[in-house]
Amino acid sequence: QKEVEQNSGPLSVPEGAIASLNCTYSDRVSQSFFWYRQYSGKSPELIMSIYSNGDKEDGRFTAQLNKASQYVSLLIRDSQPSDSATYLCAVRGGSQGNLIFGKGTKLSVKP
């Protein structure tokens, strides 16, 4: 059973701080990794994707991938109250190439 694990949180950070969200996955042949943000009562929204080892930056967001450790993370710099949401890690892999989602980490940014 292919799995994606996330700390469910809640993770609470003060406004302006760096929020660090982590995700591990079990399928070594996974090729692509996604971070979705989901506000309460809303649908998931893609915020970052990463395919190669290392860092990928987009504005205040940085995704980090380490395939050897089967680990992917998301850093949010200068966290804002509007970043308060649940962040879902998703991994694509396996023979069918479907996405496997973690349970999500709830982030709360306090003003």
Partner 1 sequence: NAGVTQTPKFRILKIGQSMTLQCTQDMNHNYMYWYRQDPGMGLKLIYYSVGAGITDKGEVPNGYNVSRSTTEDFPLRLELAAPSQTSVYFCASSYDRDYQETQYFGPGTRLLVL
In terms of CB distance, is 18 or 39 closer to partner 1?
39
Shortest distance in whole angstroms from residue 3 CB to partner 1: 10
Shortest distance in whole angstroms from residue 49 CB to partner 1: 7
Burial code (b: 16+ CB inside 10 Å, e: under 16) for 77-108 equals eebeeebbbbbbbbbbbeeeeeebebebbbbe
Shortest distance in whole angstroms from residue 31 CB to partner 1: 4
In terms of CB distance, is 18 or 31 closer to partner 1?
31
In terms of CB distance, is 43 or 82 closer to partner 1?
43
- Chain residues binding partner 1 by CB under 8 A are 4, 8, 31-32, 34, 42-46, 49, 51, 88, 90, 92, 96-99, 101-104
Catalogue the E-assigned strands of 1-111: 4-6, 11-14, 19-25, 32-38, 45-50, 54-58, 61-66, 71-76, 85-92, 99-101, 105-110
Residues in the chain: 111
In terms of CB distance, is 2 or 60 closer to partner 1?
2
